[in-house]
Amino acid sequence: MTARIIDGKVIAADLRARVAAEVERVKAQHGLTPGLAVVLVGSDPASEVYVRSKHKQTQAAGMASFEHLLPANVAQGELLALIDKLNRDPAVHGILVQLPLPAGLDTDAVVNAIDPAKDVDGLHPVNAGRLATGLPALSPCTPLGCLILTKSVHASLEGMNAIVIGRSNLVGRPLVQLLLNENATVTIAHSRSRDLPALCRNADLVYAAVGRAEMVKGNWIKPGATVIDVGITRVPGSSGKDRLIGDVAYQEALQVAGAVTPVPGGVGQMTVACLLVNTLRAACAIKGLPAPAV
Q: For residue 4, which phi and psi values (nearest 5 degrees)? A: -70, 135
- The verdict on whether 204 is a catalytic residue reads no
Phi and psi for 225 in degrees, rounded to 5? -70, 155
Distance CA(131)–CA(105), nearest Å, equals 27
> How far is the C-alpha of 91 from the C-alpha of 292, rounded, in Å?
18
In the set 57, 98, 177, 269, the catalytic residue is 98
> Can 121 be counted among the known catalytic residues?
yes
Give the span between the Cα atoms of 129 and 143, in whole angstroms: 16
Of the residues 54, 204, 229, 269, which is catalytic?
Answer: 54
106 noted as active-site residue = no
From 115, 118, 119, 121, active-site residue: 121
Rounded CA gap, 46 and 66, in Å? 19
User: How far is it, in rounded angstroms, from Cα 71 to Cα 29?
Assistant: 40
Cβ–Cβ under 8 Å, residues 135 and 181: no
Which residues does the annotation mark as catalytic?
54, 98, 121
